[in-house]
Amino acid sequence: MEEGSKEKKNKKYKGKPKWYGSRQGKGRCSKAQKLAYKEVFPSISINKKYGEVINFREEFQIPDTHPGVCILDIGFGMGDSLISTANMYKDKFILGCEIHRPGLANVCLKVRTLQLKNVRLYGGDAFKFLSRHIAEGCQAFEQIMIFFPDPWKQDVDRRIIRTETINLFLKHMVHCADLFIATDISDYVDYIEKIMQPFIDSGLFRGGRCDRVNFRPVTKYEQIAIDEGREVVDFHYICNNGKKDDAVEIEGDKDAAATTTTTTNNTTSS
């Protein structure tokens, strides 16, 4: 790459992790997707400055009579699960976080075609979104889904499923909210179980592996796994955040230990 364009690229992704640029632009948009992105994205995207929090009722224009919680789809790819959920449950509010521009554009196109009013998008890193733009103690989510998260085999610390993220989920999920995960990467299966175990032991979540969830459409990733003979494993966890301030300590993180508490005697609720 030439020095000038390298500099330009560095400037564009300043402050973002190294992998961000490669995830954002991979793949191409069709003309229709590009147009939909241009015309629809500004009206359905959540665009906040650092530290500015979302008012969910305002964003989704949720009537006062509605309980006001929403479903979060993290890393929705081309948006199959997001769109089918939004289309199936028109009275629910669906928020999608995705970095991948063609995926965001595809959802914009579907939102327009199906005239969906219950979808909002955050075009960026889900971890940043959860840590920067949701008010402390705002129990925003009744369901979180993460289907086929990037495995980052060479650098597992980049995985979206990690203790810090699950602690954030816990802060922002309503009591008894559902967390659905699916992966076809056997090493990620073990990793998810390892990450979730302290939460289970503390009574902050219950659940584990489950049968294939029936609302999850077969996406490209699942089809590749099937074709290549890999097992797809689904997880369903139910959160127990009756004690909102509880969290699981991040291994080796003394600062986190000072600011969070690990409970060992909580009982799970049903």
Ligand X SMILES: C[S@@+](CC[C@H](N)C(=O)[O-])C[C@H]1O[C@@H](n2cnc3c(N)ncnc32)[C@H](O)[C@@H]1O
Interacting residues with ligand X (CB under 6 A): 23, 74-77, 97-100, 103, 125-127, 147-150, 160, 219-221
3-class DSSP state of 11: helix
The half-sphere exposure of 61 on its side-chain side, counting CA atoms within 13 A, is 5
Nearer to ligand X among residue 79 and residue 198 (C-beta): 79
Nearer to ligand X among residue 69 and residue 126 (C-beta): 126
CB of 14 to ligand X, least distance (A): 17
Instruction: Give the integer Cα–Cα distance in Å for 98 and 80.
Output: 13
- Say if CB 159 and CB 166 are below 8 A apart: no
Nearer to ligand X among residue 66 and residue 220 (C-beta): 220
Backbone angles phi, psi at 214, to 5 degrees: -75, -15
CB of 263 to ligand X, least distance (A): 28
Nearer to ligand X among residue 134 and residue 202 (C-beta): 134
The strand order across the sheet containing 93-98 reads: 119-123, 93-98, 70-74, 141-147, 173-183, 233-239, 205-210
Nearer to ligand X among residue 170 and residue 185 (C-beta): 185
CB of 67 to ligand X, least distance (A): 26
- Say if CB 106 and CB 78 are below 8 A apart: yes
Residues in the chain: 270
CB of 160 to ligand X, least distance (A): 5
CB of 118 to ligand X, least distance (A): 19
